[in-house]
Structure 1
Amino acid sequence: MYLRAKGWRILAERVRNPAGEIDLIARRGSMVIFVEVKWRQKAVDLDLAIDARRLARVSAAAEAEAHNYLTDGDDMRIDVLLLAPGRLPRHLANAGQF
């Protein structure tokens, strides 16, 4: 719901391929984002929820799927959405690299 409220249209959820898994794929205009979602019971644990290894797996999975969601002229990026009870979502735009 957070991404939808920000104007993103959800294209897919839980996309798996041999390279890894993408929690969400969303589009706004010509930007397509591949989103890693991390949820923790305690907000303090969110700082350790994402690391280079996890981002690399999402990036590899996104590269394998990009042709299914991108059209000519589109841009893409890896984002992270951090969630914890009682906290506003923390959206890290452009958190990973291809």
Structure 2
Amino acid sequence: MPTPKRRLGDHGEQIAAAYLEQRGYTLITRNWRCRSGEIDLVARDGDQIVFVEVRTRRDAYALESITVHKRQRLITLAYHYLAEHNIPPTTDWRIDVIALTITGGSLVVSDHIIAAIGEE
């Protein structure tokens, strides 16, 4: 049985996936996993592959929950995904963050940061 936190996260990922599809993205996969961790959503925005980190919180601090360690892990995961799927290194890709919060009793997208995480 999933914990309340896991159920909230799963619900947030469903809303984020629908949000992206409404904006013309094509969803490739959800919850892609490898030894290094998990990518919440992988989508296409035109010719660009988009790795999406979904942060679902009961308060307004969803974006602040992404630590330097989490950023580094997401970049590593993106490279693992590209390698595992034999995607050429010249393929354009980015990492977005979608933050959801509970507002008025409903879970809503409060922020979508495009290319939020990059190599520094």
Class of the TM-score when normalised by the shorter of the 2 chains: 0.7 to 0.9
**8 Å contact kept, 1:30–1:73:** no
Q: CA, structure 1 residues 10+48, in 2 after alignment: closer, same or farther (shift >3 Å)?
A: same
* Percent of aligned pairs with the same amino acid: 30
From 53, 62, 71, give the equivalent of 1:46.
Answer: 62
Residue 74 of structure 1 aligns to a residue whose secondary structure is coil
Structure index of larger Rg: 2
| TM-score normalised according to structure 2 size | 0.71
| Unmatched 5+ stretches in structure 2 | 1-17
Q: Which residue of 2 aligns with 1:89?
A: 110
Displacement over 6 Å in runs of 4+? none
- Work out the number of aligned pairs and report it: 97
Q: Which residue of 2 aligns with 1:3?
A: 20
| TM-score normalised according to structure 1 size | 0.86
| Unmatched 5+ stretches in structure 1 | none
RMSD of the TM alignment (CA)? 1.9
Q: Residue by residue, what CA displacement relative to the aligned partner does 1:24-63 show, whole Å, maximum 9, x if unpaired? A: 00002101100110000012x2242212111111111110
Q: CA, structure 1 residues 89+65, in 2 after alignment: closer, same or farther (shift >3 Å)?
A: same
